[in-house]
Amino acid sequence: MQPNILFVFADQLCYSALACNGNRVVRTPNLDRLAREGVVFDQAFSSCPICSPYRAQVLTGRYAHANGVIDNEYALFEGETTIAHALKKSGYKSAYVGKWHLGYPPYTAPARFGFDDLYAYNCTHRYYDVSYWHNEDGPFPMVDFAPRVETQLTLETIQAHRRDHPESPFCLFLSWGPPHWSTVDGVRDYGEYPQQYDIYDRQQIDVPGNVPRQFEAFARREIADYYAMVTSLDACMGRLLDALEAWGLAENTIVCFSSDHGDHLSAHGYGKPGATDAWMHHTLQLSKGTPLEESAHVPFLLRYPACVQGNQRTDTMFNS
């Protein structure tokens, strides 16, 4: 029986920001569970660590210079074959939920690049002010923290698939916006998340040695909020895993969790682009987009109980 595929990825999540990858502060019990039940890839990298290029690489299996998306807002070359196109030939139904960043709505069939359904928006990082389109219909406002709504849309899409196409496997991509900083009233920071996750003591945050001494107090505050965003996503991951279990889908579903790239988080003296850090030299206004560890090294967890033994780690190197 062909496996279902659920590929979940965050935006701007560092390899080092998961407990299962050795972080002693951040709380990620559901992702830790996924790691225990599957395989942790310790050497996974984003080969072009910016939002749009990663998405195009993952969907096409081709490098940025080959598929046309060499930077944000670039379009895929016409005629590119995506994973959705390929799996359709094997009977899969496919959907994509969340941040798309490969084109603006409405999402006509050519703009969906093989996916049967998009519940998506191009790019926004205001997590309580997001609207999405379902293919050519929309916009529909999200009435809660965007990752929660996107997680619910994913569960509803799987349920609809089980009802309408019980004999077909599904391939579903879920793209969350956090822990990428949000932009509210011109300020870029990591504080826009449900306050129940504001659980990190700034004084307990370990600041890496490559953060300039002058940045340390700022970095502690920033990283504490960043971890809160990560924990909010972990709760959403728990909903997905519990639902697959309850619906009897866990055994034959390949679940992957990853990120499009990491975040410098003040390492090497980098800051965020834009007005808030306009005092910095433009070459230091980078939260990602470099080949440095913090930017290019991403988490990658894979669970497939039907075929893959759990509780494994591998240092096999691969990229997006």
The residues carrying an active-site annotation are 51, 101
Q: Do residues 171 and 94 touch, judged by C-beta distance below 8 A?
A: yes
Q: Using CA atoms, how far apart are residues 121 and 111, in angstroms rounded to an integer?
A: 12
Q: Using CA atoms, how far apart are residues 98 and 154, in angstroms rounded to an integer?
A: 9
Residues 6+ apart with CB under 8 A from 39: 301, 302, 303, 308, 310, 312, 313, 314
Q: Which two tokens stand for residue 199?
A: 């659980």
Shortest CA distance to 118 belongs to which of 157, 149, 79, 167? 157
Q: Using CA atoms, how far apart are residues 79 and 8, in angstroms rounded to an integer?
A: 25
Helix, strand or coil, per DSSP, at residue 186: coil
202-211 residues labelled b (16+ CB within 10 A) or e (exposed) = eeebebeeeb
Q: Do residues 51 and 122 touch, judged by C-beta distance below 8 A?
A: no
Q: What angle do CA 319, 78, 165 make, to 5 degrees?
A: 75
Task: Report DSSP state, residue 72.
Answer: T
Residues 6+ apart with CB under 8 A from 164: none
- Give the β-pairing of 93-99 and 170-179: parallel
Helix, strand or coil, per DSSP, at residue 182: strand
